[in-house]
Structure 1
Amino acid sequence: MRILLALLFVVLSLPAAAQDTAAPAREKVFNAEYFTLDNGMQVVLVPNHRAPVITHMVWYGVGAADEKRGQSGLAHFVEHLMFKGTEKIPPGEFSTRIKAMGGNDNAFTAQDITAYFQSISSDRLETVMEMEADRMTNLIFPPEDVESEKLVVLEERRQRTENDPRGYFFEQMNAIVFPNHPYANPVIGWLHETEALTRENVMAFYKEWYAPNNAILVVSGDVTMDTLRPLAERIYGSIPAREVPDHNWTAVPPLKATQKLIFADPSIQQPMLSRVFRVPSENQNKEESLALEVLASVMGDGQSARMYKSLVAEQKLASGISFHYSGSARSDGTLRITANPAEGTDMDMLETAIDSQLRKLVSEGVTETELSEAKTRLIDAAVFARDSLQGPAMVFGYGLTVGSSIDDIEYWPHNISQVTAEQVQTVAAKYLDPDNVGDRPYTTGYLLPKAQPAPAPEQIEESAE
């Protein structure tokens, strides 16, 4: 849920804190309505009648983690090619038609999901549903478009990774954190594997995973179920279900040794430390996930958080620090600490200070005041989210696709309110203790500046001439 709330913070620019710390009653946040079509496609409606607009999203239960070995980047490549046409809609016309109707559209791929959305006036809902249903089964993948779009994807990778040392750094960190697990592969794909992808690979992946029984339709906005249901039954319900593979992934084995990545590049101006812990996702352990949400808020939410107060404000060892839990995943979640050393602070000193704060968390836990303030921040973020148009569609789509239930999402604020200080300390001791890593050792990375080599004497002379 944490990653979903982060999206909502972007949408809403929510305040960081509130005054009322009372636990909420067990009430639904979104009051979503839902049903399942005969072909297995789930349909969720989040009504919002403030303006005559809707967000229409189709979420597929397939992502980069489902690619065959040696075909990394394929899920993302297929996402690109979903805009390259059917018999009804020529290549490149999908987005053009959406814009002509006054809307906007896009798509994105992650390890567990691929999603497509349109935001548009509510009277265009039927049209966008017909367009989206058409490309669920009728893509034609013109060979020339497959090859040209591959060049686009490769250039996207070069810009994000090859030309950005931070991209390289986080890509390598991720590979270390998830050995023997598909999450180790970048969503955009390893360059040499993406270069080798073929039209046959694309068609096989599309036919294997793109089916109504592997999809969730989420509509948020100015529409009623009386309108949506017959449209969904006629447009999406007419698409036959198909057998879809299981998510048979290899797992990270039990490990004992912590690991460190040191990456230096001349373009880096400010050093950075990153510490990543592999922890349970909400799908794996709901109770521990809720406690990790609260823990991350206590340690990292804003200038009143424990890490910021200690390392930035008081000790002045860091110029900035974040503490973030990502628990929306089909498999393992992560907890990431990222910090920039203050001038005069070396990386070893910064890492020692972080370990000291983690030891204090493990031994002393959190105070009742910290607990109450953290829960209030999280609850307020979830409650304010219902006023957004796209936000609820993101929350339900992502959550349901990776294994949450409707009730998990609707009653999340109440569930957060029930987290105890003891539960927070228990997950801290189990997963974050630097002196007892168990079989889930953390990975630490240093991203450092690298001095440019001095030019050879002959180069200096040539330059002077």
Structure 2
Amino acid sequence: MRRTMNRPTIAFVAALVTALPVAAQDSPPPAVSHFTLDNGLELVVIPDRRAPVVTHMVWYHTGGADDPNGQSGVAHFLEHLMFKGTAKYPAGTLESAVNELGGQLNAFTTADITVYFETVPPDALGQMMDIEADRMHNLVLPEEVIDAERSVVLDERRQRVESQPGSILAEQVSATLFQNHPYRIPVIGWAHEIEALDREDALSFYGQHYAPNNALVVVAGDVDAEVVRQMAEDTYGNVGRGPELPPRARPEEPPAQASRTVTLRDARVSLPSFTRNWVVPSYRQAETGEAEALDVLSAILSDGAQSRLYQALVVEAGIAAQARTSYDGGAFDYGRFVLYSAPRPGTTLEALEAAIDTEVDDIITNGISETELNRVKTRFIRSTIFAQDDQVSMAQTYGLWLTTDRSIADVAEWPDRIRAVTADDVKAVAAKYLRPATAVTGYLLPLAEEKAQ
């Protein structure tokens, strides 16, 4: 039911970015309402009356990068513990209520946020709000619950990380890519630090970060904004304001001075592959237009059958089994640009790397064509229209943008900023950020295979 993400996954971020509402000439944006209660809680309501369903999401402005030193994984650990109930709503109450209604619920932790959500019939929204408001302040954590859930988290780490060579490599690449910033630490935590987490650690983190003035509630679906606002006043409005948290001031990442490589050889690996990773600005950090240009650059390289890498490496040269890129711009602090590829049998990783470098260098040197640029823009804008049919994606979009210091207006204006990206903008960000001298490359190899073989 619950899932963990070190950073928002490629698919997750892509869904959030492409779910953004489109400009007026394509489709009218939803009539979004934005309130702030007296206790500091933010509330966003997105009416969508096409189906008798509502999605209710609680976003806390805290995640794995806020874990205290030596307590990696405590934010994610607390996410698990939040389902252990209160005196008013004992463990299992929320799950039973949602299941009886035929609804869905989930939660996830990233480096920057922790989110809980339910999708239920509209007449159950008040009950969901009351349960979430109650566990925002009144969580009950007996010692035996701590011990049992710690074992669950350790088992989750074994299944999702330690049993999967690709996950092990990704963890080690992150630890190398970020030299000073806490994004280098896995959200689920290092095993030896998870083992040491106790009740006091969880309650201390809970008391510091779980409060109305550190939370955003997003409601999307068959609802009226004023009715939802009153429900929020009657539930969340009764929770006392928490301690005033200072602005997030995480350690800054120093400029990269050298390329680095991380190699993992494992008997469980049958197909070699590699990733190339760069620290780049997130949407929140980037200079005007750079984040949008990075999104377009990633799409030109690997979005669809007409993309540069697919055409050059899969169709024409026939040397790649897979080739894709991603731009993770949804982080609170630094973004990441990732290139991933795996060769077809008979092709070495070195040959594949050289071919990919040629494609990237061509964009840096010669830029892109207007045809490529317009194709990608059209795909982006079309995706925004289709995404409005998914209320969960819409709720996620607004939640992500508002928890990274953006506004409702920023969401609505995003398609126009994509339209404004030029070919020169794409060439500029490629030259500025995709330099081999600053990349971290990860190699995943079969046990007995050398990189060049």
Please state which band the TM-score falls in when normalised by the shorter chain: over 0.9
Deviation at 1:142, TM superposition (A): 1.3
Deviation at 1:136, TM superposition (A): 0.4
Tell me, in whole angstroms, the C-alpha distance in 2 between the residues paired with 1:219 and 1:271: 44
Matched residue, 1:256: 257
For the 8 Å contact 1:8–1:385, the answer to whether it is kept is no
Q: Which amino acid aligns with 2:253?
A: V
CA-to-aligned-CA distance 1:262-306 (integer Å, 9 cap, x gap): 111111111111001110000001521011111111111011101
Ranges in structure 1 where 5+ consecutive residues have no aligned partner: 15-21, 453-465
Deviation at 1:125, TM superposition (A): 0.6
Q: 1:214 to 1:394 in 2, by over 3 A?
A: same
SS at match of 2:354: helix
Pairing of 1:285-434 with structure 2 (within 5 A): 285=286, 286-434=288-436
Tell me, in whole angstroms, the C-alpha distance in 2 between the residues paired with 1:241 and 1:304: 52
Ranges in structure 2 where 5+ consecutive residues have no aligned partner: 1-6
SS at match of 1:254: coil
Tell me, in whole angstroms, the C-alpha distance in 2 between the residues paired with 1:76 and 1:7: 18
Query: Does structure 1 residue 221 correspond to structure 2 residue 221?
Result: yes
Bigger mean CA offset, 187-196 vs 223-232: 223-232
Q: Which amino acid aligns with 1:40?
A: G
Q: 1:4 to 1:406 in 2, by over 3 A?
A: farther
For the 8 Å contact 1:8–1:391, the answer to whether it is kept is no
Deviation at 1:9, TM superposition (A): 7.0
Tell me, in whole angstroms, the C-alpha distance in 2 between the residues paired with 1:352 and 1:302: 22
Tell me, in whole angstroms, the C-alpha distance in 2 between the residues paired with 1:82 and 1:326: 28
For the 8 Å contact 1:399–1:405, the answer to whether it is kept is yes
Query: Does structure 1 residue 29 correspond to structure 2 residue 29?
Result: yes
Q: 1:277 to 1:417 in 2, by over 3 A?
A: same
Tell me, in whole angstroms, the C-alpha distance in 2 between the residues paired with 1:5 and 1:205: 28
Query: Does structure 1 residue 74 correspond to structure 2 residue 74?
Result: yes
Deviation at 1:25, TM superposition (A): 4.3
For the 8 Å contact 1:73–1:190, the answer to whether it is kept is yes
Tell me, in whole angstroms, the C-alpha distance in 1 between the residues paired with 2:29 and 2:289: 19
Tell me, in whole angstroms, the C-alpha distance in 1 between the residues paired with 2:23 and 2:362: 27
Q: Number of residue pairs matched?
A: 438
Deviation at 1:385, TM superposition (A): 1.2
CA-to-aligned-CA distance 1:425-460 (integer Å, 9 cap, x gap): 1111100133xx4xxx110111011149xxxxxxxx
Matched residue, 2:4: none
Tell me, in whole angstroms, the C-alpha distance in 2 between the residues paired with 1:330 and 1:10: 17
Pairing of 1:140-289 with structure 2 (within 5 A): 140-242=140-242, 243-285=244-286, 286-289=288-291
Deviation at 1:145, TM superposition (A): 0.6
Q: Which amino acid aligns with 1:263?
A: L
Matched residue, 1:443: 440
Deviation at 1:381, TM superposition (A): 1.3
Deviation at 1:97, TM superposition (A): 2.2
CA-to-aligned-CA distance 1:381-412 (integer Å, 9 cap, x gap): 12221111211011111121122221111221
Tell me, in whole angstroms, the C-alpha distance in 1 between the residues paired with 2:8 and 2:29: 17
Deviation at 1:217, TM superposition (A): 0.5
TM-score by length of 2: 0.93
Deviation at 1:184, TM superposition (A): 0.4
Deviation at 1:380, TM superposition (A): 1.4
Deviation at 1:3, TM superposition (A): 6.3
CA-to-aligned-CA distance 1:40-70 (integer Å, 9 cap, x gap): 1111111110111100000000000001111
Q: 1:3 to 1:73 in 2, by over 3 A?
A: closer
Q: Which amino acid aligns with 1:161?
A: V
SS at match of 2:96: helix
SS at match of 1:350: helix
Q: Which amino acid aligns with 2:308?
A: R
For the 8 Å contact 2:15–2:393, the answer to whether it is kept is no
Deviation at 1:308, TM superposition (A): 0.8
Matched residue, 1:90: 90
How large is the RMSD of aligned CA atoms in angstroms?
2.1
Q: 1:401 to 1:322 in 2, by over 3 A?
A: same
Matched residue, 2:62: 62
SS at match of 1:72: coil
Bigger mean CA offset, 231-240 vs 121-130: 231-240
Tell me, in whole angstroms, the C-alpha distance in 2 between the residues paired with 1:183 and 1:5: 16
For the 8 Å contact 2:300–2:376, the answer to whether it is kept is yes
Bigger mean CA offset, 89-98 vs 315-324: 89-98
Q: Which amino acid aligns with 2:423?
A: A
Q: Which amino acid aligns with 2:302?
A: G
For the 8 Å contact 1:282–1:404, the answer to whether it is kept is no
Q: 1:6 to 1:340 in 2, by over 3 A?
A: same
- Greater C-alpha Rg: 1
Q: Which amino acid aligns with 2:442?
A: G
Deviation at 1:23, TM superposition (A): 8.9
For the 8 Å contact 1:176–1:443, the answer to whether it is kept is yes
Pairing of 1:99-114 with structure 2 (within 5 A): 99-114=99-114
Deviation at 1:315, TM superposition (A): 1.2
For the 8 Å contact 1:281–1:328, the answer to whether it is kept is yes
- Percent identical residues: 44
TM-score by length of 1: 0.90
For the 8 Å contact 1:24–1:414, the answer to whether it is kept is no
Bigger mean CA offset, 144-153 vs 408-417: 408-417
Tell me, in whole angstroms, the C-alpha distance in 1 between the residues paired with 2:110 and 2:407: 20
Q: Which amino acid aligns with 2:409?
A: D
Tell me, in whole angstroms, the C-alpha distance in 1 between the residues paired with 2:227 and 2:91: 30
Pairing of 1:454-465 with structure 2 (within 5 A): none
Tell me, in whole angstroms, the C-alpha distance in 2 between the residues paired with 1:69 and 1:165: 26
Bigger mean CA offset, 142-151 vs 229-238: 229-238
For the 8 Å contact 2:276–2:439, the answer to whether it is kept is yes
Tell me, in whole angstroms, the C-alpha distance in 1 between the residues paired with 2:13 and 2:266: 34
For the 8 Å contact 1:39–1:213, the answer to whether it is kept is yes
For the 8 Å contact 2:299–2:376, the answer to whether it is kept is yes
For the 8 Å contact 1:29–1:383, the answer to whether it is kept is no
CA-to-aligned-CA distance 1:237-256 (integer Å, 9 cap, x gap): 22221222432211211221
SS at match of 2:58: strand
CA-to-aligned-CA distance 1:15-35 (integer Å, 9 cap, x gap): xxxxxxx99749763332211
